[in-house]
Amino acid sequence: MKIAIVRERADGETRVAATPETVQKLIGLGNTVSIETGAGALARFPDAEYQKAGATVTATAAEAISGAEIVLTVRRPTVEILAGAAKGALVIGAMDPYGNEREIDALAKTGATLVAMEFMPRITRAQVMDILSSQANLAGYQGVLDAAVAFDRAMPMMMTAAGTVRPAKVFVMGAGVAGLQAIATAKRLGAVVSATDVRAAAGEQVESLGAKFIMTDALKDASGSGGYARELTDAEKAAQAELTASHIAKQDIVITTALIPGRPAPKLVSKAMVESMLPGSVIVDLAAERGGNVELTKPGEVITTPNGVTIIGYKNVPARLATSASQLFARNLVAFLETMFDKKTKAFAVNWDDELVKATVLTKDGAIVHPNIKLQA
């Protein structure tokens, strides 16, 4: 089997879908690997390291893709990039299908079999393949570092002969993977941390990290499927907003992480809440790429409000940690691919009835096959 990796073309994308480490594993499964020159450069993986691992480095994407039966990618590729791949080639990566159904349909018509790794079910055997968790972990960490730099004051309590500097107060909204890592990182930096989530089960995890869990009595639990939160009722939204408003005004740093799969990010922080914060306060909106949790967020920008609050709305935060993010992403992909190879004979065969395959395959035989993806008329 020929496996191809090309340089990512999306603006701001620094990650790569294979590292020298994972190339060795892919070759060990009996494959050949072709990678476009410079594909790993922004993630600090030079061509020479790929060659040392056994890959063929090509001068162009077309050369790498030509005849490939498997294509590994970070972002959804274009029809033009996939030209020349084998008919029915497996294209595995983050496909971002919601709102991009026409692009998915165009790729389906090329005959490619698209596999959306972000649809990987949250079950025990799939944990090692979960790109959302691996990348969110890094985003939570980086979000706190970005906040600490913009805050321009000390995070921990400082006791000196000249007096004591109080610790920063950090409020994390959403206690999923990104939120929990943000809590842990802020605690390591010495901040006083509090957090909220609409899922009652998150409270124990928050407190285990040494943070204070805040949840309104009016909201008993809003756990949904797959470990995500369900959408709140209007009454629940009002109660949560009231709690948030009273707490945010006392915080130095707010980090928002709330996402609902397939929908725009829920708005959690209003303009009035931002205006209640003190000058020099910082908000990091880790949901900026999906529209943001903060009413005033400008995706892709860092802004300062008239009352002196900095709102950081970086998109694709994991790409700010390109090396680490690529290492984890590439391992996720290899772990999934390994389920398709016989360990003894190294024969390749996709079990289309496997629950992991059924959950992630978007297109097959020229059509969209995933039940959640509908092409709008």
Residues taking part in catalysis: 122, 127, 130, 133, 228
Q: What is the DSSP letter of 153?
A: S
* Beta partners for residue 310, in sequence order: 282, 304
How many degrees, rounded to 5, is the angle at CA 136 between CA 133 and CA 142? 145
* Cα Rg of the chain (Å, integer): 22
Between the CA of residue 189 and those of 152, 167, 320, what are the distances in Å?
A: 14, 9, 20
Alpha carbon distance, N-terminus to C-terminus of the chain: 38
Q: What is the DSSP letter of 348?
A: B
Between the CA of residue 81 and those of 58, 65, 111, 112, 214, what are the distances in Å?
A: 14, 8, 13, 12, 48
Residue 262's SS3 state is coil
Between the CA of residue 139 and those of 11, 135, 257, 325, 333, what are the distances in Å?
A: 18, 6, 9, 9, 19
Between the CA of residue 219 and those of 215, 237, 266, 270, 294, what are the distances in Å?
A: 7, 9, 16, 19, 21
